[in-house]
Amino acid sequence: MRASRLALAIAVLPGLSLASEPYVVEPLVITSGRMPEPQAQATAATTVFERDDIERLQVSSVAELLQRVPGLSVVRTGGTGSQTGVFLRGTSTAQTLVLVDGQRIAAASSGTSSLEFLAPEQIERIEVVRGARSALYGSDAIGGVIQIFTRKGDDQGLAPYVRLAAGSDSTYQRSLGLSGGDERTRFHLGAALDETAGIDATRDGFGANGDDDAYRNRSLSLSLSHRFDDSLQIGFNLLDQRGQVEYDDVFSGSLPTTDYLLSSASGFIDAQLSDSWSSRLELGHSEDKRDSGNDQPGGSVSQFNTYRDAANWLNTLTLNENHQLLLGLDWYEDRAQGTTDFVEDSRWNRAAFIQHRYSGENFSTEIGLRHDDNQQFGHENTWNAALTLPLGNANDLILSYSEGFRAPTFNDLYYPDFCFGSMCFPSANPELTPERSRSYELQWRSRYSDTGSLQASVYRTEIEDAIVLDENFIPQNVQTARINGFEAAVQQELFGWQGNLALSLIDPRDRDSGHTLQRRAKRTLTLDIDRRFGDVSIGAGWRALSGRYDDAENQIRMSGYGLLSLRAAWQATQELGLSLKLDNLLDRDYAEATYSTPNGRFGYNSAGRTALLAVTWTPQI
């Protein structure tokens, strides 16, 4: 084996395209097993979006892509740039690990990741792994893992591009970039500026809430890799997003804004040390910075900044044609700074893991174990196991067990006491332990025809020691939850139309109260159909969600809704393309979350019918 499998994946991934011929080339995925492998071989249920999918679907946010993942629902508190939560297989937002080029991007204070600030123009690929993967990734991977890969160059020479778009709500998007390379060196450099006047996120008009909430995002991405020979490659990736978002203050007449910065930088050395041993060393740094305040003289300002350094060492040992071993070491350190004086402002985590794979003619197995050593909560062991049974040439049955855990956040553990005069009240609980989960899953995967495939899963997740606020608003390890679910994804080509259907049925319950976990939709369905007619392509999308509760006591019920979108694109010349997208075509009024004011409780506004027209120029050099 002359070339490292990890290095091979990095070189191949940017060139893979499934949008037009999804059944001809089997994509390589990395996130499921933390090593490159064909998607059909990955034991965890995985959804992949390529660059071609991003362009075909004409998405303007990461949330628009993720809502097409079976078992994943998205909740936003307003329009573009508003706070975005993801609920993967019925778990909470903080129970899903989000990576950018392998680096964690969640805020240490809240534990959530700022997906709303990630610009699709800088993304090459997204992999969504459904189900616990803490045996490979450690904390936060209870519901699954979302990994975002920034754009990469290829070996086809220089390829510049310019994209300009304008649409509803005074929305303007501009991006340009240059990528290229040869057999040894590849690069990509891209920049984008997105602006919109936005919508009014609130409905009550209390205070100054009647204004639209604008959003501005400046993004930059850079990737560079060089292969010295068949056994050594180095590379560097950078993603930087910064800007400002307006939001409504439901308790005053101020006009508050948040200045944000979300960045990730990483470098790697990929080496083939022998015919059977490949090794990869990664070093990374990420930042999540928020500076929020209002326009009033002497108004309050809050800052929550996270700085994270990380190092990972991965080793893949091919023992023989049937046995493979993955050995790894992880380290990262979080530092929290800002206007809040946390009792502790830093902590580190060290981990070692091992995973063995056996691939045989009649069955395959996977078993992994990870040990985490955390400066705050001590030690945590997690493991996973999977058995794959081929049923003929076109079907696979996969039985799996996986464990997950989530470490308490800095807010949970170290938030300072609230003091009023000489009286102080605790706001945090330093005695908290990690949340823990166990998941059981049965998957069926079928390539029932040359133009169709099916993936279906039945699973059960049990969560213990979940952290919730008690009656005094102090976090406690008291909640136990049980989530039963079924999900299916079907891809089918019929009469020239390419269809993608995703269905999810879940029952997420608090085991003590019997209540449905808040903000989880029990039923979700998405359907996309597309067809190309020469230089013209057209498509449509439908998304439907059932009703859900917006509180733990199940007293605030929100209605379900369905949304229809249309899209079209025309490649006018070899260098010039036009595209048009219409979202919420039926102008449906709906809300994904609610908020309280002195005037009552209301649902956040969502965008009505919108249009976006874009032109893309790709000059030939």
Which tens digit of pLDDT belongs to each residue from 433-459?
A: 999 999 999 999 999 999 999 999 999
CA distances from 107 to 119, 199, 607 (A): 18, 26, 27
Cβ atoms within 10 Å, residue 541: 24
State the Cα angle at 152 between 614 and 318, rounded to 5°.
140
What the block records as the tokens of 109 is: 């204070």
Which pairs from 368-371 meet CB under 8 Å and 24+ separation? 368/135, 368/136, 368/326, 369/135, 370/134, 370/135, 370/136, 370/138
pLDDT of res. 297: 59
Which residues are 530's β-sheet partners? 498, 539
CA distances from 208 to 201, 390, 510 (A): 12, 61, 37
Q: Provide the percentage of residues in the chain whose pLDDT is more than 90.
A: 84
Residue 111 to residue 165: CA distance in whole angstroms: 34
Phi, psi for residue 188 in degrees, rounded to 5: -150, 135
Residue 204 to residue 379: CA distance in whole angstroms: 48
CATH number of 5-617: 2.40.170.20
Residue 384 to residue 386: CA distance in whole angstroms: 7
**pTM for the full model?**
0.93
In one-letter notation, the amino acid at residue 326 is: L
Residue 411 to residue 108: CA distance in whole angstroms: 8
What the block records as the tokens of 170 is: 């005074």
pLDDT of res. 23: 35
| Cα–chain center distance at 356 | 27
pLDDT of res. 208: 61
- Hey, where are the domains in the chain? 5-617
Lowest mean pLDDT segment, chosen from 17-26, 259-268, 450-459: 17-26
CB 30 within 8 A of CB 40: no
The model's pLDDT over 381-411, given as tens digits with 9 standing for 90+, comes to 999 999 999 998 899 999 999 999 999 999 9
The SS3 of residue 376 is: coil
DSSP annotation of 516 reads B
In 3D space, the residue among 244, 186, 180, 297 whose CA is nearest the CA of residue 621 turns out to be 180
Predicted confidence band of residue 471 (pLDDT cuts 50, 70, 90):
confident
- pLDDT for 25 beyond 60: no
DSSP annotation of 15 reads G
In 3D space, the residue among 55, 13, 38, 135 whose CA is nearest the CA of residue 568 turns out to be 55
Give the pLDDT mean for 293-321. Answer: 87
pLDDT of res. 598: 76
CB 118 within 8 A of CB 62: yes
Give the pLDDT mean for 589-603. Answer: 87
Residue 569 to residue 118: CA distance in whole angstroms: 24
Question: DSSP strand E in 182-276: where?
Answer: 185-196, 215-229, 232-246, 257-272
pLDDT of res. 423: 83
Question: Residue 408: left (phi > 0), alpha (psi -120 to 50), or beta?
Answer: beta
Tell me how far apart the terminal alpha carbons of the chain are, to the nearest angstrom.
36
Lowest mean pLDDT segment, chosen from 11-20, 102-111, 255-264, 274-283: 11-20
CB 531 within 8 A of CB 538: yes
CA distances from 404 to 140, 333, 372, 437 (A): 7, 20, 12, 5
CB 349 within 8 A of CB 372: yes
pLDDT of res. 187: 97
Residue 597 to residue 601: CA distance in whole angstroms: 6
Which residues are 266's β-sheet partners? 237, 284
The SS3 of residue 89 is: coil
In 3D space, the residue among 528, 492, 521, 481 whose CA is nearest the CA of residue 504 turns out to be 521
Kind of pairing, strands 277-293 and 576-583? unpaired
Q: Write down the mean pLDDT value for the chain.
A: 92
pLDDT of res. 205: 65
